[in-house]
Amino acid sequence: MPALRRHDSEPESRARALTETPWPGPPRLPNAALPTKPKAYKPKDPYDRTRYQCIEAKNPEKYPNYVVTFAYLAQGAANAVFQIQPYTGQVGLSYRFVDNIDRTNVPNTMFSNRLLRVSKGIPKTLSFAEVNRGYETMIKPLFAGASSTSVEDKASSNGNGTSNGHLANGSPQTTAPSYEEHLMEAEGVSFDDTIARYLHSLMKDHDDKCALGPCDKVPHMESRGILLPDMSSVPGSSLMIELKPKWLAQSPTAPRDSFKCRTCALQARRASNGKAQPLSYICPLHLVAGNEQEISRFLRPHVFRHFMVNSSNPAINIDHDIESILARATSYLATGPGHALLAHMRALQMSHDVSGPPDPAVPLPSNRTFKRLRVAMTLRDCSMFVNIPYAKDKPIEAKLADLDFKSMEKLMDWAGKERALKNGGWYTQVDKESRCQIAGAWKDCPWWV
């Protein structure tokens, strides 16, 4: 979900970095200084990450340091994202957060560099509880190191995740370093129907595709949200670039004579339909292979846009620091930790899906095989945010977002999209202008002119 960035039209001066340490804020007030504590939220699911309650703030002027407001920021296919802003005396709805652990009110400075993500309530999306459980049991363990074994795999094996040196699916168990540092820290928030309806109204003001009907009648429009770090660029300090590590290996069902990889084939199909094209594009096979030339070519427009520099204007003197930032970012993705993360993602995508989405005309796969396919499709539909500090002595960081476990109801969509790419000839269509890695390999053929 490309929703953790600000609109290009908004001033970047309002952005905040993930690594920015907020002012700790005023001390928490004694209970008598604030309204009566709300009833504690008691999660029934052990995987529930609901840390806070958000409730409407009555008489906010009496305790402004604990009051926040919400502002619509952006949205993707399934979720909308809101800024959490401190109360400044403005007229309108205002809210406060309560810690579910010690039942104290939380200063608004604790949320100064965080965003609230809420489901849009569209069909074929999982509930808050299902998203949490799927992430904790099926996705997060794959980045923990030691072995690429999910909780489900461990439960179905001999108790330690292996069976005679193999995973529960029969494949050899492999050891790997931990990649947990690349997962976004997320905490849940509960709120009442009034807040849910208010947030839903903000969504509908910006997108007519939001779920129809009253919010409290939409099954998936729960009174739950997720707090995520704000990964926006900070002018004068750092810049953020978003990547889509989709289909880092060719689709298992692609034709043998394919001219394009799965993502490049889909990109060509979308372009033919007149859909808006991204600022720059890179074949994911080039990305995961660490092709420095293609990676630099992809990054350059993003770096220059951040600095508002027109690289095609010869009168502009490109500052050496800008080129240095571009070189460091390229190195990070081509040979550094970013490359290692992408390689790990590719291995997971391939090992969890060896046959592709099944055709609806054939019997459905076993529940276990289907779950592994859902894991693979989750890993193929996430976002990677790369935070690049200006300072050379500060490390570049990458975080993965949108790792919500995919619903089983998506199967028909996956199969239909794959069928459309094959039947429409998008895999095999020769395009001599294509920068797909597979297309590049065809250039050595005798018929290439």
**Residues 292 and 328 occupy one common structural domain:** yes
119 shares its domain with 190: yes
Same domain, 342 and 436: yes
The answer to the question of residue 449 being in a domain is: no
Same domain, 247 and 312: yes
Could you list the beta-strand ranges (E) of 199-356: 224-229, 238-243
Based on the fold, state whether residues 229 and 303 are members of the same structural domain: no
Check: CB of residue 109 under 8 Å from CB of residue 25.
yes
* Domain end (from 180, 204, 235): 235
Give me the number of domains the chain comprises.
2
Q: Does the residue 185 lie in any domain?
A: yes
Which contiguous run of DSSP H or E holds residue 418? helix 411-423
Same-domain pairing of 175 and 253: no
Does residue 37 lie within any of the structural domains? Answer: yes
Q: Assess if residue 66 is contained within a domain.
A: yes
Q: What is residue 161's predicted lDDT score, i.e. its pLDDT?
A: 42
pTM of the model: 0.80
Based on the fold, state whether residues 259 and 217 are members of the same structural domain.
no
| Cα–Cα distance for residue pair 147/136, rounded to 1 Å | 16
Judge whether 24 lies within some domain.
yes
Q: Helices (DSSP H) in 335-410: which residue ranges?
A: 337-352, 367-379
H helix or E strand, kind and range, residue 96:
strand 95-99
159 found inside a domain: yes
Shared domain for 229 and 282, answered yes or no, is no
Domain finish residue from 235, 261, 279: 235
Residue with the two structure tokens 């009648």: 217
Same domain for 264 and 287, yes or no, is yes
- How many helices (H) and strands (E) the chain has is answered by 11, 11
21 within some domain: yes
Domain boundary among 210, 235, 260: 235
- The tokens describing 338, both together, are 């970013």
Q: How far apart are CA 409 and CA 259, in angstroms?
A: 30
Query: How much is the pLDDT for 359?
Result: 74
Domain that holds residue 258: 238-442
Same-domain check for residues 52 and 178? yes
Asked if residue 45 and residue 12 are part of one domain, the reply reads yes
Confidence (pLDDT) at 414: 93
Question: Which residues have CB under 8 Å from 265's CB, separation 6+?
Answer: 254, 258, 421, 426, 427
The rounded distance, in Å, linking the Cα atoms of 400 and 386 is 9
* Per-residue pLDDT of the chain in tens (449 residues, 90 and over written 9): 444 444 444 444 444 443 444 444 445 555 445 555 555 556 667 777 889 999 999 889 888 999 999 999 988 878 889 999 998 887 678 999 999 888 899 999 999 899 999 887 777 888 888 888 999 999 999 999 765 555 555 555 444 444 444 444 444 455 668 999 999 989 999 998 888 888 888 877 776 555 555 444 444 456 889 999 999 898 888 999 999 999 999 999 999 999 999 999 999 999 988 877 788 899 999 999 999 999 999 999 999 888 875 445 444 445 658 889 999 999 999 999 999 999 999 999 999 999 888 876 767 667 888 899 999 999 999 999 999 999 999 999 999 999 999 998 898 899 999 999 999 999 999 988 899 999 988 877 766 55
**Do 397 and 229 form a contact (C-beta atoms < 8 A)?**
no
Instruction: List the structure tokens of 115.
Output: 């965003």
Residue 113 lies in a domain: yes
Same domain, residue pair 101 and 196: yes
